[in-house]
Amino acid sequence: MRNMGLIFMKQKNGMTSLNNKDDVLTLLVHLGYLAYDIDSREVFIPNEEVREEFLRAIKNGARKELVEVIRQSERLLEATLRMDGDAVAEILEAAHEANTAPKFYNDEQALRSVVVMAYLSCVDHYLKFEELASGKGYSDILFLPGRASEKPALLIELKWNKSAEGAVTQIKDKNYTHVIKQFGYEGELLLVGVNYSVKTKKHTCKIENIVKKAEA
The whole-number pLDDT of residue 22 equals: 62
pTM of the predicted model over 0.85? no
Q: Tell me, what amino acid is at 29?
A: V
Q: Do the strands 42-44 and 35-37 form a parallel or antiparallel pair, or are they unpaired?
A: antiparallel
- Tell me the C-alpha distance between 144 and 147, whole Å: 9
Domain boundaries, the chain: 21-61, 71-212
Tens digit of pLDDT at every position of the chain (216 positions): 444 443 433 443 344 455 555 666 666 666 566 777 776 666 666 666 666 666 666 566 556 666 777 789 999 999 999 999 999 999 999 988 887 666 555 566 778 888 988 898 888 889 999 988 888 889 999 999 988 889 999 999 999 899 999 999 999 999 999 888 888 888 899 999 999 998 898 999 999 998 755 444
Q: Tell me, what amino acid is at 149?
A: S
- What are 135-142's contacts with CB under 8 Å, separation 24+? 135/174, 135/175, 135/176, 135/177, 135/178, 135/179, 136/174, 136/175, 137/174, 137/176, 139/171, 139/176, 139/179, 140/112, 141/112, 141/115, 141/116, 142/179, 142/180
Name which CATH class applies to 71-212: alpha beta
